[in-house]
């Protein structure tokens, strides 16, 4: 199936390179994270303009706790500030907010803010913005497996009746479509424990630009590259007309 002229339904972004963007300017890493928020706002607007259904952004990985305490505290504070400053505007634009990742490790006041943002925007239909915070894909798959194991142990499900749909339904991204396009900024070409299951047939685009420099031009170019690729899903090349 060719993706020619098709807008990807689900775009996922690994927003990487904030620290290096700041270092190159002689600024503290935190300045890069702050500038990254403006890039995020540009990405959301652009996704909406292009009629993308779902935009999932990687804002904090389960592995990011290993960073210095001060940086972790800054990133947590930045998420709070983003929620406080941007949710009303996103809501007025019809954006539905979802948060994925392990919430139980976060402080109760932050969890409340995340729950409130989800509830407020629940009925919106314009764009689903999925914020992956304290997210790790292997941990997500592990949790799905544990849930299914409970069902088996309770006699609700037979082991041989477990299907891919059961696993998908127990991932936090259910019922979102699989990722069509994964963009990673910052020059690294790896997936860093992000949406491993959901990216099974995603097209990957790695950009050398750091996240704070991400804008509509880069986003539209990435979508154009996606559209120029032929997605085969294991089949054969489509016959040219």
Assess 16 for contact with Mg ion (CB under 5 A). Answer: yes
Instruction: Among 8, 10, 17, 212, indicate the residue that binds ligand IPE (CB under 6 A).
Output: 17
The residue of the chain with the least Cβ separation from Mg ion equals: 16
Of 91-99, 188-196, 218-226, 233-241, the segment contacting ligand IPE by CB under 6 A is: 188-196
Q: Check if 86 is active-site.
A: no
Assess 64 for contact with ligand IPE (CB under 6 A). Answer: yes
Instruction: Among 40, 43, 54, 59, indicate the residue that binds ligand IPE (CB under 6 A).
Output: 59
* Cα(6)–Cα(28) distance, integer angstroms: 40
| CB nearer to ligand IPE: pick between 148 and 198 | 198
- Give residues with Cβ within 8 angstroms of 197, minimum separation 6: 137, 140, 141, 167, 168, 171
Assess 188 for contact with ligand IPE (CB under 6 A). Answer: yes
Active-site residue identified among 5, 38, 49, 64: 64
Alpha carbon 85 to chain centroid, angstroms: 20
Minimum distance from CB of 107 to Mg ion (Å)? 24
| CB nearer to Mg ion: pick between 150 and 190 | 190
Minimum distance from CB of 159 to Mg ion (Å)? 39
Q: Check if 151 is active-site.
A: no
Measure Cα distances from 235 to 2, 205, 232, 239 in Å: 11, 22, 5, 12
Minimum distance from CB of 172 to ligand IPE (Å)? 16
Assess 86 for contact with Mg ion (CB under 5 A). Answer: no
Binding site for ligand IPE (CB under 6 A): 14-20, 58-61, 64, 75, 186, 188, 190, 192
**Residues known to be catalytic:** 16, 64
């Amino acid at each position: 199936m060719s993706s020619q002229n098709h807008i990807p339904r689900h775009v996922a972004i690994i927003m990487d390179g904030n620290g290096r963007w700041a270092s190159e300017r002689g600024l503290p890493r935190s300045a890069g994270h702050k500038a990254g928020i403006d890039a995020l706002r540009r990405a959301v607007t652009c996704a909406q303009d292009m009629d993308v259904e779902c935009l999932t952004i990687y804002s904090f990985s389960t592995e990011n706790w290993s960073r210095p305490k001060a940086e972790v505290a800054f990133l947590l504070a930045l998420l709070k500030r983003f929620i406080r400053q941007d949710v009303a505007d996103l809501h007025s634009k019809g954006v539905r907010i979802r948060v994925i990742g392990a919430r139980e490790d976060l402080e109760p006041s932050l969890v409340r803010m995340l729950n409130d943002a989800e509830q407020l925007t629940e009925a919106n239909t314009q764009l689903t913005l999925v914020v992956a915070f304290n997210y790790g894909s292997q941990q997500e798959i592990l949790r799905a497996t544990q849930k299914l194991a409970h069902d088996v142990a309770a006699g609700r499900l037979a082991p041989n009746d477990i299907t891919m749909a059961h696993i998908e339904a127990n991932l936090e991204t259910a019922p979102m479509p699989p990722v069509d396009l994964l963009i990673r900024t910052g020059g690294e070409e790896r997936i860093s424990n992000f949406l491993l299951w959901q990216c099974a047939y995603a097209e990957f685009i790695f950009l050398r630009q750091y996240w704070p420099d991400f804008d509509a031009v880069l986003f539209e170019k990435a979508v154009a590259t996606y559209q120029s690729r032929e997605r085969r899903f294991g089949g054969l090349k489509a016959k040219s007309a």
